[in-house]
Structure formats: structure tokens, C-alpha cells
Structure 1
Amino acid sequence: MARSVRRRANIMGAFISLAVLAATAAPAQDAKTPDYAAIVAAPDRADTDRQADQRRQPAKMLAFAGVQTGMKILDMEASAGYSTELLARTVGPAGTVYAQDSAAVIERFVKDKFDIRAQKPAMKNVVHVIRDFDDPIPPDVSGLDMITFFFAYHDITYMQVDRAVMNKKMFAALKPGGFLIIADHSAKPGDGTNVAKTLHRIEESTLRQEIEAAGFKLVAEGDFLRHPEDPREAAVFRPQVPTDEFVLKYQKPL
């Protein structure tokens, strides 16, 4: 009888131990997936950024990209740092965001906007990388989890940049299985890069061809910034209807 009681007690103890392990293990598996909506709603974000949120839909963008805590990310053409800050908040102190811009872009457009933003506590894990677009990654940086290129690839097309070289450098900097998230303003079929400087748009098929030529494989398309009612004939942010924008998720093959 005593042995039977002890046996049942041991079995119950084993079940309790397994239950405790399961309860503690479950949060750890989800720990790298942040609460994107909470990050966007952080009370210390600037009012100007909140206004941009209405168009940019950052919670959906972060979720589509799959940004995780602890990631190492390169943000191409960071400009004033709107996306850089969101990425920094998302990867957290254990992660790193490299914010890339060329010296020419900083001088002509960014000025001190990024430097002012960089003083915020949320930007402590950000490294400002001032390098040309066709050589955007510091030599000591490799094995990136992700590269983001938001609404700026069209700008590169009218600069003196070898885009094929740039794309190959991005490909090489990613770890196998790493992702490139790229979004831009959509031009009409047949426009290619011809309206990049005037309308700040690029034909999606043209961008795809250039990115895929570097070895990237398309794995997902986001439709949350699509506006099919946009005739794509006016400069961005000036038409009567919202600008049609495409969002693509590429991966470096394993």
C-alpha cells in the first residue's frame, strides 16, 4: 500500500514538473515576437512620427517583416530615422540597427535631423553608418538578420550608384535565410525608373528584376499599403487619392 502511494506521488510529481516546464517554456518560445502595436503606441514617440504612422502603417510593416527581439538589422537610406527608431525599439537592447546614409544625402536632405533623433534613449542600440550606397556595409559587419529599404530605392536610380553592386553587397551581408524587406511608391507599367526623380515612383517589376538578379528570392508580398484607385500619374503625396505602394519580402536562400 505504501509503495502504491509513493508510486502515485512520484507520478503526480512528474506530471507537475512537466506542467511547470511547459508553462515556463511557452513564453520563451514567443519572447522574440514583440507587441508591434504597443511599440507603435509608445508614449515617448514624436507627434510627427505619429502623423506619419497614418500613411506608413508601421505595426503592419513590422509584423510583415517579422522583426524579432535581438535581431541585427541594416536600415538602408535611414534619412531622418523614422523607421530606424521603430526597428530599434523592436529589436530591443539585445539587438542592433545600422542606419545607413550617404554623406551626400545627409548634406542635402537630412542635415541634423538624424542626429537629433539619435539622442533619444530608444536609439541607444543604433549605429549610424555613413557610407556610399554601392558600398553600404562596414567591413566588420556581416551575418545580418534583415535589411530594410523603405521608400527610397527609387531615389538611388537617379544617383551615381551601381545598383547591381549595391544589391550584391546587401545579399552578401545577410546571413543565409536572412531577409530583405523593400517597399516603394508604385509607378505605372512601362514607366520603369523614368519617373523616379519627377514623381518619386518606380515600376514594381523593374525593382523586382534588379533585386532578384542579386540572388534574392521573393517569399511574400504585402498589400496593406496598396491603393488601386491611385492612377500613379502624380508625384507621391500630392494626388487626390492615397499613393499606391508595394511591399516585398525577399530572402537569401539557405
Structure 2
Amino acid sequence: MRPYLFAISAFAVVALPVATQAKPDLTSRAAIDAAVAAPTRTPANEARDQYRHPAETLAFFGIKPGDKIVELWPFGGWYTEILTPYVNAGGGRLTVASPAGKYDDMIAKKLATDLATYGKVIRARFPSTPTEPKIAPNSVDAVLTFRNIHNWMGKPGAAETAFQEIFTMLKPGGILGVEDHRLPENMDIAREAASGYLKVSTVRALAAKAGFQFAGASEINANPRDTHDYPKGVWTLPPSFAEGDADRARFAAIGESDRMTLRFIKPRK
């Protein structure tokens, strides 16, 4: 175990069975599709593929199965269910990085459900603390964050610090993949404070300040039915349904939120 990662004894490495079939072409989209179709995924998570488009999203980010990947704040492990078989098949490494407390507890519970699948997943802290070291500088190929940046905006300076820490842990040429709830550029930026939505320009500014180069955007996770103007913010829509049964059918028909999907690169020296 490397010194900058946190050894969790409950999650000992479990030997995986040796494949008897020919090794697949891990440079193709087929590797991503196979991970999305993994039998270890839960049906409730698979049902959300129609909104989250995981295969298209991961293909856009340009990650490879052999990469050392960090997934930030995975919560209950929706994407962890896909990324784990992806790196297991290609000899890569997945680290899930959470703050101490309930978010770390959620992913710990997920990993404990199936050690045969998740035994090689590493747990780490993000953001780091004085007593819990950072992931080593220039040590990972890709960092992925799904619907997390809006959570970092509530504390002054937290988002800036997060982006700088991400930049530091990535190798030169490494990828930062971002998906988050999107606030249209023509709407009042004050809505970012409590709605859960962020402007693309806000995220791009945070990334640029940390030193990233913008490498492209995709409309894979766009939802033109989302009006972005609900009193209870993005949590009004599925899967949260913050209004309970009030207008539930209408919000269900809208679907999950309109989301930005962005790719950034750490420049090579």
C-alpha cells in the first residue's frame, strides 16, 4: 500500500479468477460497454442509465482501462459499479476519494458488499487533511467527478482548493472529467448558491485558475426539458423528488437534470 493512500483492512485484496477466454481489445469502446453491462451492477442503478449515459460519458472523457483513476466523492458508488470492472479488466487502478463522515461511510458500505469485485479498490481522503496525506503529486492518469462541484461551492475557497488538489495529483497530460448540474448562462448567477446548478463558465474558470486546459464539452447529458427554476432546486427532479408527491408525475416526465459534461487536461511540461 502506498503511503499516501489509506489502508482499510476490511477491504483486503481478493484474488480474482483467471480468465480463460482471450483478452478483449481494451483500447476499444467495447471495454466501456462491457463494464456498463457488468452483472455486478444493481438494477436500480442500471435504470438510471437513460439519464446518465455512462458509456458515452466515459468514452468522451477518454479514459483507458489500464489507467490509474480517481473517482471523487462517489457517495453510494453509482459510477464505482462501472469503473471497477473497467479497471479490473485492464489492469488499472481505481481510488475512491471522499471526505471523512457519511460520504466515506456510504462508499465503504458499497465496497463491502462484494469483495470479489471491489477488493482492489483503494479508499482515500479528499480533500486531504493535515493528518491524512494527499494522493501523491503526478501519480494518476484521470480524475473523475460526477455532480460534486456544486457541493464544494458552499464554503468559501473550497472549490478552488479542490481543483488545485486535483491538478496536483494528476500526471502531466492527465484528464479531469466533470459532470454536473448545468445552469444556463443567461440565468442569474445567484441561483448557484442554493439550487445545485452551476454555470459552465463558473466551472471553466475554476479549472483554468488551477492550471487546466479546456479540452471540450459534450451534450451527452443535456436535458432541454429541465427549466432550472424550481424552488427546491435540482433536487426537485428525480431521483430526489424533493417535493414528494406534489407534481411528481410532471417532474418524472422532465427526467433528471440538465448536465454539463466537460473534459480538461493538465498541460505537459
TM (norm. structure 2) is 0.74
| d(CA) in 2 for partners of 1:137, 1:160 | 22
Which residue, 115, 123, 131 being the options, matches 1:128?
123
Which residue, 26, 29, 36 being the options, matches 1:31?
26
Equivalence for 1:179: 175
Task: Give the direction of change, closer, same or farther, for the CA distance of 1:30–1:253 in structure 2 (3 Å limit).
Answer: farther
Task: Give the direction of change, closer, same or farther, for the CA distance of 1:252–1:96 in structure 2 (3 Å limit).
Answer: same
Whether 1:62 and 2:64 are equivalent positions in the alignment is no
Q: Are 1:102 and 1:132, in contact at CA under 8 Å, matched by a contact in 2?
A: yes
Q: Are 1:67 and 1:91, in contact at CA under 8 Å, matched by a contact in 2?
A: no
Q: Are 1:154 and 1:202, in contact at CA under 8 Å, matched by a contact in 2?
A: yes
Give the root-mean-square deviation of aligned CA atoms: 2.7
Query: Residue 175 of structure 2: SS of its match in structure 1?
Result: strand
Q: CA deviation at 1:138?
A: 2.5
Whether 1:113 and 2:113 are equivalent positions in the alignment is no
Whether 1:166 and 2:162 are equivalent positions in the alignment is yes
Q: Are 2:38 and 2:82, in contact at CA under 8 Å, matched by a contact in 1?
A: no
Greater RCO between the two (CA within 8 Å, min separation 6)?
2
TM (norm. structure 1) is 0.77
Q: CA deviation at 1:111?
A: 6.9
| d(CA) in 2 for partners of 1:161, 1:137 | 20
Task: Give the direction of change, closer, same or farther, for the CA distance of 1:182–1:52 in structure 2 (3 Å limit).
Answer: same
- How many residues matched? 223
Query: Residue 125 of structure 1: SS of its match in structure 2?
Result: coil
Give CA-to-partner distance per residue, 1:125-169, whole Å, 9 cap, x none. 211113436889734463210000111101110135532222122
Instruction: Decide which moves more: 173-182 or 124-133.
Output: 124-133
| d(CA) in 1 for partners of 2:208, 2:227 | 27
Which residue, 19, 40, 45 being the options, matches 2:41?
45
Task: Give the direction of change, closer, same or farther, for the CA distance of 1:139–1:146 in structure 2 (3 Å limit).
Answer: closer
Task: Give the direction of change, closer, same or farther, for the CA distance of 1:87–1:127 in structure 2 (3 Å limit).
Answer: same
Equivalence for 2:99: 102
| d(CA) in 2 for partners of 1:210, 1:134 | 21
Query: Residue 41 of structure 2: SS of its match in structure 1?
Result: coil
Whether 1:206 and 2:202 are equivalent positions in the alignment is yes
Query: Residue 35 of structure 1: SS of its match in structure 2?
Result: helix
| d(CA) in 2 for partners of 1:201, 1:46 | 27
Q: Are 1:76 and 1:149, in contact at CA under 8 Å, matched by a contact in 2?
A: yes
Larger radius of gyration: 1
Q: Are 2:135 and 2:169, in contact at CA under 8 Å, matched by a contact in 1?
A: no
| d(CA) in 2 for partners of 1:37, 1:28 | 15
Q: Are 1:131 and 1:137, in contact at CA under 8 Å, matched by a contact in 2?
A: no
Equivalence for 2:254: 241
Q: CA deviation at 1:196?
A: 4.1
Equivalence for 1:75: 71
Instruction: Decide which moves more: 115-124 or 151-160.
Output: 115-124
Whether 1:138 and 2:131 are equivalent positions in the alignment is no
Equivalence for 1:18: none
Q: Are 1:146 and 1:181, in contact at CA under 8 Å, matched by a contact in 2?
A: yes
| d(CA) in 1 for partners of 2:138, 2:267 | 16
Large movers: runs of 4+ above 4 Å: 27-30, 133-137
Task: List alignment gaps of at least 5 residues for structure 1.
Answer: 1-26
Task: Give the direction of change, closer, same or farther, for the CA distance of 1:195–1:89 in structure 2 (3 Å limit).
Answer: farther
Task: List alignment gaps of at least 5 residues for structure 2.
Answer: 1-21, 242-250
Q: CA deviation at 1:112?
A: 4.0
Equivalence for 1:14: none
Q: CA deviation at 1:224?
A: 1.0
